[in-house]
């Protein structure tokens, strides 16, 4: 699309006897005479001059170049910003959360690497035990139970199971000895003791289970 012409306007007020010389002066300076407005004692001479066409392409190109430079500086600066490195406690908390997901899925073989990697780690023990309920632990262990007189399912490696059970017991024992911010709440200890001495609290009595199966 063709650009429209743009003008700058100027009005000069002069004495009538000087209007010819003033007009010539401004025309020599590149101003185009438009009109003359006579007043009582003076005359107004109106001039106009074409403004240069805006160089939009150059302006846009320069703007884009400036934007690219700024973006490059920002991206380059981000490389040198200090990155947050998780603390040992934060890493232990994240690993404990992952171990809990495996526990609740009943995958004891997959749980063992998590436990083995954090043997003696009080932070891991606290974050794991504080979120693991007695029911979570009982359900996970029941997934490897055998039938009849067999204590373990025939597909379970007894040696690997013993290692997992030992590491799991070690994590819970370590958590119960936590102090200060790593001390388990009294409620957790009470619930665990109740669950181990009276498991019907967790699973119901045999009569209740029989009634539930019959329904």
How are beta strands 7-15 and 42-50 bridged, if at all? antiparallel
Which tens digit of pLDDT belongs to each residue from 112-163?
999 999 999 999 999 998 998 888 888 888 777 767 666 777 777 888 888 8
Which tens digit of pLDDT belongs to each residue from 43-70?
888 888 887 776 655 556 556 666 666 6
**Which among 35, 28, 37 is positioned nearest to 9, based on CA atoms?**
35
Which is higher by pLDDT, 9 or 147? 9
pLDDT confidence of 212, banded at 50, 70, 90?
A: very low
Exposed, middle or buried: residue 147 (CB in 10 Å: 0-12, 13-18, 19+)? exposed
């Amino acid at each position: 699309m063709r650009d429209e012409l743009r003008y700058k306007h100027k009005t000069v007020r002069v004495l009538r006897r000087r209007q010819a010389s003033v007009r010539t002066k401004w025309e020599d300076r590149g101003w185009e005479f438009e009109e003359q407005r006579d007043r009582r004692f003076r005359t107004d001479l109106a001039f106009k001059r074409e403004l240069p066409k805006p160089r939009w392409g150059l302006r846009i190109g320069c703007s884009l170049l400036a934007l690219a430079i700024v973006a490059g500086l920002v991206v380059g600066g981000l490389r040198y910003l200090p990155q947050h490195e998780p603390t040992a406690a934060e890493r232990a908390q994240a690993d404990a959360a992952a171990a809990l997901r495996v526990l609740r899925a009943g995958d004891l073989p997959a749980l063992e690497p998590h436990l083995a990697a954090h043997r003696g780690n009080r932070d891991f023990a606290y974050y794991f035990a504080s979120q693991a309920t007695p029911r979570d632990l009982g359900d996970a262990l029941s997934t490897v139970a055998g039938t009849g007189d067999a204590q373990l399912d025939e597909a379970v490696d007894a040696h690997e199971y013993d290692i997992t059970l030992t590491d799991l017991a070690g994590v819970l024992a370590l958590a119960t000895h936590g102090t200060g911010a790593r001390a388990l709440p009294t409620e957790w200890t009470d619930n665990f003791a109740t669950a181990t001495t009276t498991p019907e609290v967790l699973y119901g009595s045999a009569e209740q289970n029989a009634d539930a199966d019959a329904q």
